[in-house]
Amino acid sequence: MASIMTNSAALTALQSLNNTNKQLETTQARISTGYRVATASDNAAYWSIATTMRSDNKANSVVQDALGLGAGKVDTAYTAMNSAIDVVDQIKQKVLLAKTSSADDRAKIQSEIASLQAQLTDNIGGANYAGSNLLQTDSSSTTSTKLTVMTSYNRDSTGKVTTGTLDVLFSKTRLVDSITGTKTGALDKTFTTTGAGAATVSILTLDVSTATLDSTDFDDLMTGVEAGLKSMASGAAELGAAKSRIDMQKSFLSNLSDSIDKGVGALVDADMNKESTRLQALQVQQQLGVQALSIANGSSQSILSLFRG
């Protein structure tokens, strides 16, 4: 039935064109943003999951920064600790050599030891990173007793958040004690020689040129140096374990961040190959829809021919 009041063909063509335009708009938005789910209205569940995971990834990024800072402090201390151990090893050799040397030779050996002691002081003083020196700390402090490095950000199914930490105790890495009283550092902790040249010294203050030193005194000096080396080895082990843990955690968080990004991408990213193909198809449909609407609108014009004489 031909009607001038209702053009069914035109209405159908218009509905089809509107639907095509809507799909085209959606596809163009996906291509423009790169997202299949850009807002909550696109897919509320996926958008919510993606938003939460992105937030967690930002928190993991902060943890990675904290690990980087902690790694710098621990690596600096670890390098200085190993250097200090090498220097103390040399002092140990010099003390052993001095035991059976003449007074003149002992004076020369002491000159070398003094240079090594100065080197130790320089190495430890220079082991500073971002205001922290793990080798030179105050044993009397009750507020600064350890280096705490944040290692993880954890959120359980109820939303409760906890953070993992790694602690490096200053008491295990202290080589020089900045306290003004009795010192506990591995290098400035005192020990006593019990021979004829009895004295109270530390690795940083021992002097093999003293004329009264006998065999017992040198044995005591060697014992003191060995005790210092043992403490330093324990400190190096503490720093080495912390360094290894931090390095592994940094690698884990990097991989975890990549995995979360991939998971979020699988939920919300647009398939650009698919969308570009769909765009071309919709553009053709749009052109055909416009043409169909034009034909449908033109059909009513044919009714006029019925009234022409």
pLDDT given at position 299: 66
Question: In 3D, which of 130, 131, 80 has the Cα closest to residue 243?
Answer: 80
248 pLDDT above the threshold of 60: yes
Rounded CA separation 56/115 (Å): 53
Contact 176/135 with Cβ under 8 angstroms? Answer: yes
Task: Check pLDDT > 80 for residue 150.
Answer: yes
By mean pLDDT, which of 6-10, 13-17, 92-96 is the weakest?
Answer: 6-10
Alpha-carbon distance of 144 to 149, in angstroms, equals 14
Residue 188 — φ and ψ, nearest 5°?
A: -105, 5
Average pLDDT for residues 164-169, to the nearest whole number?
A: 96
Give the pLDDT score at 73: 96
| pLDDT tens column, 46-67 | 999 999 899 999 999 999 999 9
Q: Are 23 and 282 in contact (CB under 8 A)?
A: yes
- CA separation, residue 254 to residues 30, 53, 133, 263, 272 (Å): 28, 15, 27, 14, 27
CA 275 to centroid of chain Cα atoms = 37
Nearest Cα to Cα of residue 24 among 284, 305, 303, 297? 284
Structural class in CATH, domain 54-269? mainly alpha
In the chain, where the domains are located: 16-34+271-301, 54-269
The pTM of the full predicted model, rounded to 2 decimals, is 0.79
